[in-house]
Amino acid sequence: MLAGGSSAAADDPAAGRQIANMCRTCHGIDGYAQIPIAPHIGGEPKAYLEAQLMAFKTGAREHEMMSVVTAGLSAQQISDVAAWYASHEAVATLAEGVSESDAPQACVSCHGADGISLLLDAPNLAGETNIYIDTQLKAFRSGNRKHEIMSEIAAPLDDAEIRAVADWYANVTLEITPVE
Ligand code: HEC
Ligand code: HEC
């Protein structure tokens, strides 16, 4: 059946770059976010970006800005713009004075100690603002955002625990560069 973002045509990152002009005031043209409530998306796995965009478009994930943005995009345009942002490299650097062993152990197997995801269907957390990470974890906890893994992980966390893991990943320095 029609699974989320299956697309017959090949991805076209150059076409995606044109579409990204609609995204740049919030996410930057390279995917380095310009406003604290928007996430960095450059260098994320294409599969993750496409799945989230389709979730906003279908209403499975809701947000006043992103629901409007994706309503106007076709599945092909979503695939292309996801390919554009995925065609970047995200490089993370831990803050001075901390080491990988200080990272939240409940998160590292999927999101990495430095917030660079180890799975194609999981996002990078490196350098996201603590506001963004906090908001998403609370959305998973309340059920406003649903995911079989993350809903369970967020359910038992209290606000202080959420802020602690959010601060860990927010303190990582992120650089996003185009891949030639
Ligand atoms: C007016 C600002 C704005 C514009 C324009 C915008 N976004 Fe967003 N975007 C946001 C915000 C805010 C969020 C966080 C939503 C939430 O809290 O759930 C977001 C979330 C996302 C996510 C989810 C990322 C994740 O890590 O889960 C993706 C992917 C995304 N945007 C891609 C795009 C693309 C592609 C465009 C252009 C076609 C675009 N956005 C245009 C503000 C914007
Ligand atoms: C077993 C793998 C796994 C573990 C462990 C895990 N996550 Fe996730 N996480 C995911 C996946 C997969 C997603 C994508 C969810 C979706 O598609 O909506 C995600 C999404 C997120 C998001 C949303 C980010 C965004 O850009 O929208 C945040 C925040 C997050 N995880 C934080 C954490 C934290 C903090 C921990 C540790 C307490 C953790 N995760 C542990 C797999 C995992």
CATH number for the domain harbouring residue 26: 1.10.760.10
> So what's the pLDDT on residue 4?
41
d(CA 176, CA 28): 10
Question: Does the residue 6 lie in any domain?
Answer: no
Ligand 2 mean position, distance from CA 88 (Å): 21
162: nearest Cα among 123, 134, 125:
134
Domain span holding position 69: 13-178
Specify the DSSP element, H or E, that contains 176: strand 173-178
Question: Does the residue 58 lie in any domain?
Answer: yes
Label residue 36 exposed, middle or buried (CB < 10 Å: 0-12, 13-18, 19+).
exposed
List the structure tokens of 42: 């450059």
Main-chain phi, psi angles of 114, to 5 degrees: -95, 5
The SS3 assignment for 141 reads helix
Between 180 and 37, the higher pLDDT residue: 37
d(CA 34, CA 82): 18
How far CA 125 is from CA of 75, 78, 111, 117, 180, in Å, comes to 26, 22, 7, 7, 24
Question: Does the residue 3 lie in any domain?
Answer: no
Q: Which residues line ligand 1 (CB under 6 A)?
A: 19, 22-23, 25-27, 37-39, 41, 49, 52-53, 63, 65-66, 69, 81, 123, 135
Ligand 1 mean position, distance from CA 134 (Å): 16
**Tokens 């320095």, located at residue:** 173
Q: Biggest alpha carbon distance in the chain?
A: 50
Q: What mean pLDDT is predicted for residues 111-128?
A: 96
Q: Which atom of ligand 2 is nearest to the CA of 61?
A: 18
Q: Which of 68, 69, 79, 150 to mutate to test the pocket of ligand 1 (most atoms within 8 A of CB)?
A: 69
Question: Does the residue 117 lie in any domain?
Answer: yes
Instruction: Kindly report the average pLDDT of the chain as a whole number.
Output: 94
Confidence of residue 10 (pLDDT cuts 50, 70, 90): confident
Nearest CA to ligand 1 atom 8: 66
42: nearest Cα among 123, 119, 112, 136:
123
Between 58 and 1, the higher pLDDT residue: 58
The SS3 assignment for 165 reads helix
Around Cβ 46, how many Cβ atoms within 10 Å? 19
Nearest CA to ligand 2 atom 14: 122
The pLDDT > 70 percentage for the chain reads 94
How far CA 117 is from CA of 2, 7, 125, in Å, comes to 26, 24, 7
**Ligand 2 pocket check for 110: Cβ under 6 Å:** yes
> So what's the pLDDT on residue 1?
37
Question: Does the residue 5 lie in any domain?
Answer: no
Question: Does the residue 90 lie in any domain?
Answer: yes
Residue 78, pLDDT above cutoff 90? yes
Q: What mean pLDDT is predicted for residues 43-71?
A: 96
Instruction: State the total domains in the chain.
Output: 1
